[in-house]
Amino acid sequence: MSEVNKQDIKAIVFELNNEEYAIPVQQVGSIERMQHITRVPQTEDFIIGVINLRGVVTPIIDLRKRFSIEKTEFTNSTRIIIVYINNMEVGFVVDAAYDVIDIPENAIEPAPEVIGTVDVDYIEGVAKIDSRLLMLLNIEKVLSSQEVDHLQSVEG
């Protein structure tokens, strides 16, 4: 039993465009309700702006824009997931975040080659649990180091 637990991955499940994604719980700092976001001009378009996260100015990224999914209005269930990337705190705007789930290692399969329009390199794998299909996100690749470096040197 304990051996099984060791191989489980605890993950936060969130929804984006009616699909379910998962982020390992260790990488998640907190989940916040939608709040006022201050736009930062002259940055990449998927960076919405910054919020005041308990005194820390935190950049916010629109995952829909990052994944090139059509834009929708923010709703009551829209959430900001605060994650840590290379010692930086960044927030992801998602449609909804509602679940913590244990994913057994053996339920994870490598990402299928064809997964629509989404570039597969930041999908680490797909887990099938009961009738649900969860896509495991690799946070670092969502903002691959190249991308991060690029952002750091954005200048007008």
Partner 1 sequence: MELNEYLEVFIEESKEHIQSLNDHLLLLEKNPSNMDTVSEIFRSAHTLKGMSATMGYQDLANLTHKMENVLDEVRNKNLVIDPNILDVVLDAVDQLEAMVIDIANGGDGTRDVQSIVNKLNSIEKREVIVQDDSTKKVESNNGGSTATIINGLDEFEITLLQESEEKNHSNLQIDIKLREDCLLKAARVYMVFDVLEKIGEVIKSYPQVTDLEEENFELDFSVLVVTTEQSDQIKQKVMKVSEIDNVTIIPFTVDDILQQQPINSEVEQTVIEVASTVEESNKVSQSNSKAVISNKTIRVNIDRLDALMNLFEELVIDRGRLEQISANLKNAELVETVERMTRISGDLQSIILNMRMVPIDQVFNRFPRMVRQLARDLGKQIHLEVDGADTELDRTVIDEIGDPLVHLIRNAIDHGIELPSDRVEKGKPAEGLLKLNAYHSGNHVFIEISDNGAGIDREKVIRKAISNQVITHEQAKSLTDSQVYQLVLESGFSTAETISDVSGRGVGLDVVKNTIESLGGNISIESELGKGSVFAIQLPLTLSIISVLLVEVGKEKYAIPLSSIIETAIVSKSETFNAHNKTVIDFRGKVVPLVSLKEVFNVSSSLEEDELHSIVIIRKGEKMSGLIVDRFIGQQEVVLKSLGDYLSNVFAISGATILGDGQVALIIDPNSLIK
Q: How many CB atoms lie within 10 A of CB 30?
A: 12
| 94/80 Cα distance (integer angstroms) | 6
* 20/66 with CB nearer partner 1: 66
Query: Which residues pair with residue 51 across a beta bridge?
Result: 58
Rounded to the nearest whole angstrom, what is the least distance from the CB of residue 88 to partner 1 in the complex? 4
Rounded to the nearest whole angstrom, what is the least distance from the CB of residue 132 to partner 1 in the complex? 32
The one among 11, 28, 59, 136 contacting partner 1 by CB under 8 A: 59
Spatial neighbors of 150 by CB under 8 A, at least 6 apart, are none
* 100/154 with CB nearer partner 1: 154
Least Cα distance to 71 among 50, 46, 44 occurs for 46
* Spatial contact of 123 and 23, defined as CB atoms under 8 Å apart: no
Asked if 146 interacts with partner 1 (CB under 8 A), we say no
Rounded to the nearest whole angstrom, what is the least distance from the CB of residue 57 to partner 1 in the complex? 5
The one among 31, 34, 40, 118 contacting partner 1 by CB under 8 A: 40
Write the Ramachandran bin of 95: left for phi over 0, alpha for psi from -120 to 50, otherwise beta: alpha
The one among 41, 75, 113, 131 contacting partner 1 by CB under 8 A: 41
Chain residues binding partner 1 by CB under 8 A are: 36, 38-43, 47, 49-52, 54-59, 85, 87-90, 148, 151-156
